[in-house]
Amino acid sequence: MQALYAQLLVGLINGSFYALLSLGLAVIFGMLNIINFAHGAVYMMGAFVAYFLLNLTGLGYWWALLIAPIVVGIFGMILERTMLQWLTGLDHLYGLLLTFGMALIIQGVFQNYFGSSGLPYAIPDELKGGMNLGFMFLPIYRGWVVIFSLIVCIATWYLIERTRLGAYLRAATENPTLVRAFGVNVPRMITLTYGLGVGLAALAGVLSAPINQVRPLMGADLIIVVFAVVVIGGMGSIMGSIITGFALGVIEGLTKYFYPEASNTVVFVLMVLVLLVKPTGLTGRAA
Amino acid sequence: MKHRISAIFLGTALALVAGGALAQDKTVKVGVLTDNSGLYSDLGGAGSTLAAQMAIEDSGLAAKGWKVDLISADHQNKPDIATTIARQWIDVEKIDVLMDVLNSGVALAVNNVVKEKNSVMINSGAASSDLTNAQCTPNTVHWTYDTYMLAHSTGAALVKAGGDTWYFLTADYAFGAALERDTTAVVLASGGKVIGGVKHPLNSSDFSSFLLQAQASKAKIIGMANAGGDTTNTIKQAAEFGIVAGGQKLAGLLLFISDVHSLGLNVAQGLNLSATFYWDMNDQTRAFSKRFSDRMKTKAMPTMVQAGVYSGLLHYFKALEALGGNPHDGAKEVAKMKELPTDDALFGKGSIQPNGRALHPAYLFEVKKPSESKGPWDYYKLIGTTPGDQAFRPLSESACPLLKK
């Protein structure tokens, strides 16, 4: 029983990454209608920016949490301005192929220079060590990851669903022409939204740098699972992707305990089941 | 029907005649089949291709009128892709020898193709000792290391040092299974006990679940029967979960210098590992490694896999020279390789057993503390050496069908 609690908690930790990443994907899909396959690559870039900040400028983890999402977000906005914006109104497939191609290029460039085994990034001193919860030894850093991602997820949800800015955004997705008639600069808002989604991925990258090696393929390994999370939660649903992210982390954690061999397939089995029963995902609405 | 059969016979006869005439053929085509883009690409990958290139240059064959071609391909760690490439290489490109072929699952699949087509595989990167045991063929030489050697060198040393209860974290494919099996045998034979284990999917990023199970088992040694990125993530996360601090010891059953470099000494210090090559062994290995590193884009020192590609290929060239030309007959070339003693700058003197196993000394290393290291790549302390004839599976225990004639 004790072991079970531990596995639940570990699942929650992994779920935080799924939630942060699928949240970004959901924001981008919901507002831009683009299936952003480059999400794993920008997650990886976030971790690399953290590494460079530490090793080239001496700026540590806390600065990285702030700077990496901004740097990578700006990179994302450049991509959106120069390439993605031309795909507005075309079939989803075009956006998917373009971003998939970009992901391969970005990963290839990083792998060319840094190899595949990755670079070390230490846990910040303030979050080192762990506490004994009785049923498990919880590294403080992992606890921090769960709490921090929860806060970021809820803040993002609040921004989009409860503020005036979010209302503009949602209106612009529904009917861009009308919103523009009210004097809102819709293209700029779309660009900023893409930057936000990408920045969230970069933030997840920074969070994961001390846990996993900073590797060029770290995003490629994760992104397929995250897509399954988004599909299960319902494409474009903000709250749905957050909740599904955490829930699937827990389910995957339990699988690792009861039948480890299946732990990298269980998410996809669930995806198939959900699609069979409810093709729009758990919280999605029919288009 | 009769006509067709006789046509085939005629064709075969002609080919044989042509083969005889080509005995003086001085062309060789080398194919490096490795992981160029995935989790093992740092320990093989572009470095394996570079090592093959250096072997071609250092062999001096060009000056003796030979023409050597080199190509390389990415098998993506997928046996189906690897066998397709191997078939195409042998049938269409007329490749004479396949080098590296890391990943045991891939190697065992390619092993069959190479035998069927009577080509040559000099395997450096794959670990499974099955390549020279039940699955041995007259066309394969297994050069650098194998699971039997790793199990005996690292496993036995750890049990002797008091680590008598084991828990395994095993990569769920041919390699992990072979390494766990061979290590279990050593642990039991040395008087230890295996109290559990968990199989994880290849290329996992999060090991905390598995580590918690290992922690709960209270085993003294957690044996990591995995490799590459899987091992580095396990080690890093084990430190985070206080596993080493809690008195359990991690055993990296297969750890490459590229892994240690990637982890950094802060995390990796104190780990024991076995290898057959380390760049800083003597003047010759240092000279080779310096040349190698200068030409690598990442400036990395060679891993034992890459060193094995270099040495294995050099030995292959020696066999071809001894044959007086390329017979394009894989079994014949490998037989010559086994006949000649091995002797090169990186692995020293040795031999190749009838089952295809190359013998050379195995070294037990300990990873240095950050304070002991003089800089990047100065990572290992030598703590023990096993002579070549004891490091690998003795012929008397081998189930290789070639030995039962």
For A36-88, how does the pLDDT look when each residue is reduced to its tens digit (9 = 90+)?
A: 999 999 999 999 999 999 999 999 999 999 999 999 999 999 999 999 988 88
- Residue B21's pLDDT is 46
Burial (0-12, 13-18, 19+ Cβ within 10 Å), A1: exposed
How far apart, in whole angstroms, are the C-alpha atoms of residue B376 and residue A82? 41
Which phi and psi (to 5°) does residue B253 adopt? -70, -30
Q: Which residues contact B314 (CB under 8 A, 6 or more apart)?
A: B55, B58, B59, B344
Q: Inter-chain contact B298–A212, Cβ cutoff 8 Å?
A: no
A124 touches chain B (CB under 8 A): no
Q: Inter-chain contact B212–A10, Cβ cutoff 8 Å?
A: yes
Largest CA-CA distance found in chain A, in angstroms, rounded: 60
Q: Is A234 left (phi over 0), alpha (psi -120 to 50) or beta?
A: left
- Residue A286 in domain: no
Instruction: Tell me what the mean pLDDT of segment A185-202 comes to.
Output: 93
Reported as a single tens digit per residue, the pLDDT across A222-276 is 888 899 998 898 877 888 889 999 999 999 989 988 888 888 899 999 999 999 9
How far apart, in whole angstroms, are the C-alpha atoms of residue A187 and residue A171? 13
- Residue A169 in domain: yes
Cβ(B26)–Cβ(B66) below 8 Å:
yes
- Residue A117 in domain: yes
How far apart, in whole angstroms, are the C-alpha atoms of residue B243 and residue A2? 17
- Residue A9 in domain: no
Number of domains in chain A: 1
Reported as a single tens digit per residue, the pLDDT across A98-115 is 999 999 999 999 988 888
Chain B residues in contact with A120 (beta carbon < 8 A): 236, 262-264, 266-267
Cβ(A144)–Cβ(A156) below 8 Å:
no
- Residue B10's pLDDT is 52
- Residue B359 pairs in a beta bridge with B351
- Residue A283 in domain: no
The CA angle A123-A124-A130, to the nearest 5 degrees, is: 65
CA separation, residue A159 to residues A71, A73, A168, A238, B229 (Å)? 21, 17, 11, 11, 38
Q: Inter-chain contact A261–B201, Cβ cutoff 8 Å?
A: yes
Rounded to the nearest angstrom, the gap between the alpha carbon of residue B367 and the centroid of all alpha carbons in its chain is 21
- The segments of chain B whose pLDDT lies below 70 read 1-23, 405
- Residue B169's pLDDT is 96
Q: Is B323 left (phi over 0), alpha (psi -120 to 50) or beta?
A: alpha
Q: Inter-chain contact A263–B241, Cβ cutoff 8 Å?
A: no
Long-range Cβ contact pairs of B371-374 (< 8 A, separation 24 or more): B373/B265
Closest CA to A168 of A156, A183, A155, A149: A183
Cβ(A69)–Cβ(A206) below 8 Å:
yes
Q: Which residues contact B90 (CB under 8 A, 6 or more apart)?
A: B113, B114, B117, B119
- A 10 A CB-CB count for A261 gives 13
Reported as a pLDDT band with limits 50, 70 and 90, residue A1 is: low
- Residue A282 in domain: no
How far apart, in whole angstroms, are the C-alpha atoms of residue A271 and residue A281? 9
Option in A13, A116, A137 nearest B242 (CB): A137
List the structure tokens of B59: 């062999």
Reported as a pLDDT band with limits 50, 70 and 90, residue A175 is: confident
Chain A closest-CA separation from residue B93 CA (Å): 27
Q: Which residue of A has its CA nearest to B36?
A: A116
Q: Read off the amino acid at residue B54.
A: M
Chain B residues in contact with A260 (beta carbon < 8 A): 172, 198-201, 209-210
Percent of chain A with pLDDT over 70: 98
Residues 230 through 269 of chain A touching chain B, CB cutoff 8 Å: 253, 256-257, 260-261, 263-264
- Residue A7 in domain: no
Q: What is the DSSP letter of B37?
A: S
Specify the 3-state DSSP secondary structure of B278.
coil
Q: Which helix (H) or strand (E) holds B359?
A: strand B358-359
Q: Which residue of A has its CA nearest to B237?
A: A211
Q: Inter-chain contact A257–B205, Cβ cutoff 8 Å?
A: no
- Residue B343 pairs in a beta bridge with B349
- Residue A270 in domain: no
Q: Which residues contact B311 (CB under 8 A, 6 or more apart)?
A: B55, B143, B342, B344, B345, B346, B347
Q: Inter-chain contact B204–A263, Cβ cutoff 8 Å?
A: yes
- Residue A131's pLDDT is 85
How far apart, in whole angstroms, are the C-alpha atoms of residue B202 and residue A270? 21
Q: Which residue of A has its CA nearest to B172?
A: A261
A55 touches chain B (CB under 8 A): no
Chain B residues in contact with A116 (beta carbon < 8 A): 37-42, 45, 228-229
- A 10 A CB-CB count for A66 gives 13
Option in B40, B43, B233 nearest A212 (CB): B233
How far apart, in whole angstroms, are the C-alpha atoms of residue B242 and residue B309? 38
Closest CA to B383 of B278, B241, B310: B278
**Alpha helix stretches (DSSP H) within chain A:** 2-32, 39-52, 61-82, 92-114, 140-162, 164-174, 176-181, 186-208, 218-233, 238-258, 266-277
Q: What is the DSSP letter of B301?
A: P
Closest CA to A23 of A194, A239, A228, A287: A239
Chain A residues in contact with B305 (beta carbon < 8 A): none
Kindly provide the ipTM of the predicted complex, given to two decimals: 0.82
Cβ(B383)–Cβ(B368) below 8 Å:
no
Specify the 3-state DSSP secondary structure of B164.
coil
Range of the domain at A67: 15-216
**How many helices and strands, by DSSP H and E, does chain B display?**
15, 15
